[in-house]
Amino acid sequence: MIRTFIAVELDPSFGEKIRQIQERFSDFDLKFVNPEIVHITLKFLGDIEESMVKPLEEALDSLMCEPFEARIEGLGVFPKPSNPKVLWLGATGNFETLHADVETLLKPFKFKGEDRAFTAHATLARVKTLSKDQKSAFADILNELKDTRLGSMQVNKVLLKKSTLTPYGPIYETLHTVYLD
């Protein structure tokens, strides 16, 4: 079994800005995502048999979404500011269409659906614990950075990725690349 997901990688030029944002939250008990591997997940597939990789590649090769420009901007948390569990960067562009296209192509595989609506975002950190006092300080920094703008990027490919979890963080490997045209 291999752990897999479908994603759009962020432009590598955003790495330093991501690092700077993460640095602002370094006083809190967070598990940061390495800036080099921050991405937008379109669909988490979970553990699959290796024999499913080829059929998934073939299905994804039928993506109809055209390339589009995306803006990476805005900082927020899930599920809500009073109880932050995930710190994320927002993404705007044609992600809803791309996500819907991926969902449609994967329907025959019967992957588990999401309980919540798709929101294009890139996870920067997972919140481990925050005391009451820290929640206020965390919210202040979040509010100060909420309108952060990293810039624009071209979304012209979608990746099927393998994730290997290690004590030092996940290691990602691209299994298949689909170029949008």
Residue 144 included in any domain:
no
In CATH, what number is assigned to the domain containing residue 107?
3.90.1140.10
- One-letter amino acid at 77 equals V
| Residue showing tokens 């290691």 | 171
When pLDDT is cut at 50, 70 and 90, the band that residue 63 belongs to is very high
When pLDDT is cut at 50, 70 and 90, the band that residue 7 belongs to is very high
3-state SS of the chain? Answer: CEEEEEEEECCHHHHHHHHHHHHHCCCCEEEECCHHHCEEEEEEEEEECHHHHHHHHHHHCCCCCCCEEEEEEEEEEEEECCEEEEEEEEEECCHHHHHHHHHHHHHHHCCCCCCCCCCCEEEEEEEEECCHHHHHHHHHHHHHHCCCEEEEEEECEEEEEEEECCCCCCEEEEEEEEECC
Residues carrying an active site annotation: 39, 121
When pLDDT is cut at 50, 70 and 90, the band that residue 169 belongs to is confident
Residue 102 included in any domain:
yes
Residue 83 included in any domain:
no
Residue 8 has pLDDT above 90, yes or no: yes
Residue 75 included in any domain:
no
What pLDDT digit, counting tens, does each position of 29-46 carry?
999 999 999 999 999 999
Domain that holds residue 7: 2-70+90-123+152-179
pTM for the full predicted model:
0.94
Residue 138 included in any domain:
no
Residue 85 included in any domain:
no
Mean pLDDT of the chain: 95
What pLDDT digit, counting tens, does each position of 82-133 carry?
899 999 999 999 999 999 999 999 999 999 877 788 999 999 999 999 999 9
Residue 21 included in any domain:
yes
Domain count of the fold of the chain: 1
Residue 8 included in any domain:
yes
**Residue 114 confidence (pLDDT):** 79
